[in-house]
Structure 1
Amino acid sequence: MKDLTLSAPLPAREIRRGPRLSAGQRYFLLSWLVPVLLVLAWEAASRAGLIRAQVLPPPSSVLNTAWDMIASGDLFRHLGASLLRAAAGFAVGGALGFAFGVLTGFSRLAHALFDRPIQMIRAIPFLALLPLVIVWFGVDEIGKIFLVALAVFFPIYVNTVLGIRQIDPKLLEVARVAGLTRLATVRRIVLPGAMPSVLTGVRYSLATAWLALVIAETLATTSGIGFLAMDAREFLQTDVIVLAIVIYAVIGVAADALARALERRLLGWHPNFAKEAQR
């Protein structure tokens, strides 16, 4: 006879559930917890009268100011000017930093000729160079791009040289035994091995680029986020000043996220970055 007994109900743990967040998604949401709590506490303290609006306006006031500037088009005009300067300076400084880093990393002669002067210039603060930049380029766009390019050059240069010098000698020996040419060794072993350090330099240079841009936009100019903040200071518009600071912070987060995405794409072969990409 056939077994007519009813099948036992499924255990509770086997009941199908909806999609769950991955570990990477949970940590991403957790990373925004503290900033959100700080903004909420800031708004609450402002509404309670603990923080005067003239000293630090509430986030709602800053948001209204941003909306008004978006409606008038002023915010996009200033933001576009700053982004163009940062992009141009990053392209010039990054290309030169990588080129000189590869040159001094591979050649002891180039290292002896160029490294010490580069390190001496790297130690000079941007503010000390500002009067000389004005003498050289005036107050035109070239001077601002020059300061950004100079700020970008050094992190990429230092990390490129460091990455090349830290290549495992055993890998170079394997390349020699395998009969790889010098060009093939550089392309298949040296540059991929140095890439984590190079991309670390890119992340640092993205931060220093905006730092240099703030200084550069204090020169005689009529556009840019730095100009927006300096102009607002003259009229004691603290909401505009705070808005400029928030824009810099948002751009910094976006630039860092872009650098991380670049790392995951270019370093998919690396065990550490491969694990991060799978999360």
Structure 2
Amino acid sequence: MNVPGLAIVLLFSYGPMAGMAIAFQKLDLTKGLFVSPWVGFDNFTYAFKLPGFQQVLWNTVFVTLMKIVVGLVVPIVFALPLNEVGRAAFKRTVQTIVYLPHFLSWVILSGIFLDVLSPSSGLVNQALGWFGVESIFFVGNADWFPYVLVATHSWKEFGWGTIIYLAAFTGISPSLYEAAIMDGAGRWKQTIYITLPGILPIIVLMATLSLGNVLNAGFDQVFNLYSPSVYETGDILDTMVYRLGLIDYQFGVSTAVGFFKSIVSLVLMSVSYALAYRFAHYRIF
């Protein structure tokens, strides 16, 4: 029964890893992968010396760290009051509504957000106009674009985090709340001294596991929302790989950047799992 799944993993996950050899070659498509001349680390040296590489690396880390922080805070803030709702039907309905965007692709959502954030007819700018604020070109302004990425990503994914924390709430013993009520503790003190400490291991786990994605700023989202006018703050490693490889046909340099990203991600993921085991007793086996 495991053979089909194992075959798919070997074919589509491990097989393409042979292409990493391109990072050490000057690829000649007429000669093929293993016949092209080897150039050692020249592609890496060239990529690291590109004028915009450091800015792209900073953009990637900056956007990802903001997504991690917001992705931890927003679900908790939303889950806490939702957990206090007594009507199960209403709670399930809200959960379903906020969870649905998780299943929508960025191809669809990007079109929606481009319309909503339009400087001329977008709902957001129309609302700002009611308060006398001038129209803002959110997706075309380099200063605003990183925060647009974070806000739209949070809107899409916070429903998933909310479900995780709502599940964590069920693991807190009701007797703790009963004892707190007997001692005169209100809802706020119950939240501070019982609820948040009760889900702290899950918060630590989610935070540490997120460290492995520091260089994954979200290619689908950025690619569908950005434009040359926001390259300065919106260009990330994945979009740089796309342009170098598929637009400029610099296959060796493109693969070198992707290889660099994979190695760093592997190290960070290993560290994140070690921290998750150390602080939250999380194990993957």
TM value normalised by structure 1: 0.62
**Aligned match of 2:98:** 118
User: Which segment drifts farther, 126-135 or 195-204?
Assistant: 195-204
Instruction: Kindly indicate whether the alpha-carbon contact (under 8 Å) linking 2:20 and 2:255 is maintained by their aligned counterparts in 1.
Output: no
Q: Aligned in 2, Cα 1:266/1:206: closer, same or farther, shift over 3 Å?
A: closer
**Aligned match of 2:82:** 104
Query: What letter corresponds to residue 132 of structure 1 in structure 2?
Result: I
1:181 aligns with 2:185: yes
The alignment-based identity, stated in percent, is 11
**Aligned match of 2:197:** 192
TM-superposed CA distance for 1:191, in Å, is 1.9
Instruction: Kindly indicate whether the alpha-carbon contact (under 8 Å) linking 1:214 and 1:226 is maintained by their aligned counterparts in 2.
Output: yes
TM value normalised by structure 2: 0.61
**1:217 match: secondary structure:** helix
Distance 1:53 1:152 in 2: 45
Q: CA RMSD in A?
A: 4.2
Instruction: Kindly indicate whether the alpha-carbon contact (under 8 Å) linking 1:62 and 1:243 is maintained by their aligned counterparts in 2.
Output: no
1:99-248 maps to which residues of 2 (within 5 A)?
Answer: 99-108=77-86, 111=91, 114-135=94-115, 136=117, 137-140=138-141, 141=145, 142-150=147-155, 152-173=157-178, 175=180, 179=183, 181-182=185-186, 183-202=188-207, 213-218=218-223, 219-221=226-228, 222=231, 223-232=235-244, 233-248=246-261
**Aligned match of 2:12:** none
Distance 2:198 2:61 in 1: 31
Query: What letter corresponds to residue 228 of structure 1 in structure 2?
Result: M
1:12-27 maps to which residues of 2 (within 5 A)?
Answer: none
Give the gaps of 5 or more residues in structure 2. 1-15, 118-137
Give the gaps of 5 or more residues in structure 1. 1-37
Distance 2:17 2:274 in 1: 27
Cα deviation, 1:148-197, whole Å, max 9, x if unaligned, reads 334552343221111112223344455556x3724444333322222233
1:27-106 maps to which residues of 2 (within 5 A)?
Answer: 63-106=41-84
TM-superposed CA distance for 1:234, in Å, is 0.9
TM-superposed CA distance for 1:86, in Å, is 1.9
Distance 2:68 2:35 in 1: 33
**2:94 match: secondary structure:** helix
TM-superposed CA distance for 1:97, in Å, is 1.8
**2:49 match: secondary structure:** helix
Distance 2:85 2:279 in 1: 25
TM-superposed CA distance for 1:237, in Å, is 1.8
Query: What letter corresponds to residue 239 of structure 2 in structure 1?
Result: F
Higher relative contact order (CA 8 A, sep 6+): 2
The alignment of Structure 1 onto Structure 2 pairs a total of residues equal to 227
TM-superposed CA distance for 1:243, in Å, is 3.0
Q: Aligned in 2, Cα 1:190/1:145: closer, same or farther, shift over 3 Å?
A: closer
Query: What letter corresponds to residue 241 of structure 1 in structure 2?
Result: S
TM-superposed CA distance for 1:203, in Å, is 5.5
Instruction: Kindly indicate whether the alpha-carbon contact (under 8 Å) linking 2:47 and 2:256 is maintained by their aligned counterparts in 1.
Output: no
Query: What letter corresponds to residue 114 of structure 2 in structure 1?
Result: I
Instruction: Kindly indicate whether the alpha-carbon contact (under 8 Å) linking 1:93 and 1:153 is maintained by their aligned counterparts in 2.
Output: yes
**Aligned match of 1:23:** none
**2:70 match: secondary structure:** helix
